[in-house]
Amino acid sequence: MNPVQSRFTSIEALKDSTVDVRALKAHGRIEVNGKHYEIRAAADGQLSVQRPDKQAAVDKFFKSASHLLGGQSQSMRIAQTLNEKAAAASARPQLTRQLGGRLNLQQINLEQGQSSSSATAVTAKEGEIPDGKKAFASLLAWTKKAQKLKQPMRETIYHLFKQETPKSKPMAPDAQKAYMEGFKKLERTEGIDLWPQGLDGMNKEDRLIGVYMAEHPGAGKDFYRIVPEHSRRTEEDDTGRLTIGVEPRYAGELAKAMTTLIKSEGNVLSGKIAGPEIFGQRTDSAILYVRSDYAETQALGRKLQSMLPAQAFIDHTPAGMQSAGKGLAYAETVKGDSSSHGLSRADIIATVLSDHSSGALEKKLKTALAAKGYNPDNPAFRMTPTPMLTDTPPSRAGSLPH
């Protein structure tokens, strides 16, 4: 057996390498620029890294606040690189397995798209996906904006996605303080773990909200994970997300409602919510990661809507997602792809814009969606092969049961 490559002179060297991320994950350790890190799996299935010395890791976060506010720490950059490499390595083999090794893009009518569903309404019958005209149109509009960039790369394309924010009024300073204090109370909820996303991979006792708030001046600009104490996620799960848009003044109530649902609803795998300084300042400020079942997620959305005042919800659907009601948007994730909807679809757009052959942009986008495993009719959903493409019994479009 060949030894696992685990030493790299820099993050750039790691990016340029052909390292086997699965083997590296099993190895559990990595050395970058002379510094040693442990590799762990975060609650949402993504890899994270941290220094072996827990106190050194805590000091690094608390004493380098200005660095964190201006950019990612080295451990976060390493984790991001590993996750990107893992996604790139597994997406295409996974797609081949999903489609029984028989996918032929020429069999898909890329001008009209193809779906194994006959649904045309936004609210679909159980077992069907809704009409995807709006979801595709928003993704195409995003692609056209990206065309105008001087360097249409993944990160710059993703930045366009984040810029499409809902129209809302930021929280007042007093409300921001109350919101953060609310996190301390939610942290004590039995059966729930809550921590700053920036402390992914650290032990529970090293990521207490109160300590983080006291020592980290940028606490209000972070995202906070809300996770069941005992993980519900398995490698077999097909995942999706329910993005939630509410007026910032209702963010505290939303955090409580999300915590309740994450604790009680078995279909919910985890969630995250933005801190008060950035809530409403990006296209998605609150997310529930779910098992991908559109009908179940619609029911979950209705339950969530019943827990907040009707006026709390904002009409906003991020690009490439399917509206599931006022303030609610749904999208699925192909196994091996980034759990970030924005980064996932930004990758697809980057592929489209790197294709300088002749042909309509719409057709190229549908081709790229299908190649990545997403439904070319409705990019919010995965693509499930029809009986003509596989021996697998027919299932619901988009693999409807993140």
- What is the mean pLDDT for each group of 10 consecutive residues in the chain (402 residues)? 71 78 84 84 74 54 43 76 75 46 40 33 58 95 94 90 89 94 92 91 86 90 93 82 96 97 94 95 93 91 96 94 95 90 94 92 95 94 54 31 28
Q: Which of 156, 198, 265 is nearest to 207 (CA)?
A: 198
| Domain-embedded: residue 60 | no
Tell me, what's the pLDDT at 41? 75
Domain assignment present for 82: no
Question: What integer pLDDT is reported at residue 44 of this predicted model?
Answer: 62
Q: Which helix (H) or strand (E) covers residue 153, if one does?
A: none
Q: What is the CA radius of gyration of the chain?
A: 21
- Do 257 and 136 fall within a single domain? yes
Give start and end residues of each alpha helix (H) in 99-166: 133-147, 154-163
- My answer on whether 9 and 142 are in the same domain is no
How many structural domains is the chain composed of? 2
- Strands of the sheet containing 286-291, edge to edge, are 192-196, 223-228, 268-274, 286-291, 239-244, 328-333, 322-325
Within a domain: 17: yes
Q: Of 35, 54, 73, which one is at a domain's C-terminal end?
A: 54
Structure confidence at residue 115 (pLDDT): 33
| pLDDT tens digit sequence for 184-207 | 999 999 999 999 998 888 888 888
**155 and 255 both lie in a single domain:** yes
143 shares a domain with 29: no
- Predicted local confidence at residue 125, as pLDDT: 54
Q: Tell me whether residue 61 is in a domain.
A: no
Domain limits for position 11 = 1-54
Looking at the structure, tell me whether residues 23 and 159 fall in a common domain: no
The SS3 assignment for 339 reads coil
pLDDT at 113: 37
Letter string b/e over residues 226-244, b meaning 16 or more CB atoms within 10 A of that residue's CB: bbbeeebbeeebbbbbbbb
Q: Are residues 43 and 138 in the same domain?
A: no
Residue 390: what pLDDT?
Answer: 30
**Angle between the N-to-C axes of helices 251-264 and 173-187, in degrees from 0 to 180, rounded to the nearest 10:** 20
Q: Which amino acid is at 299?
A: A
Please report, for residues 372, 374, 380, the alpha-carbon distance to residue 389 in angstroms, rounded to integers and kept in the order given: 16, 15, 21
Cβ-defined contacts of 166-169 (< 8 Å, 24+): 166/245, 166/280, 166/283, 166/314, 166/315, 166/316, 167/314, 167/316, 168/247, 168/248, 168/280, 168/314, 169/247, 169/248, 169/249, 169/280
Q: What pLDDT is recorded for position 137?
A: 96
Instruction: Answer yes or no: do 305 and 202 share one domain.
Output: yes
pLDDT of residue 377: 92
Q: What is the enclosing helix (H) or strand (E) of 243?
A: strand 239-244
378 within 8 A of 130, measured Cβ to Cβ: yes
SS3 105: helix
The verdict on 8 and 142 lying in the same domain is no
pTM assigned to the model: 0.68
For 390, phi and psi rounded to 5 degrees? -155, 160
Do the domain assignments include residue 123?
Answer: no
CATH code of 278's domain: 3.30.2430
Instruction: Identify whether 179 is part of a domain.
Output: yes
Residue 100: inside a domain, yes or no? no
Q: How far apart are CA 78 and CA 88, in angstroms?
A: 15
Residues 32 and 143 placed together within one structural domain of the fold: no
pLDDT at 72: 55
Q: Is residue 212 part of a domain?
A: yes
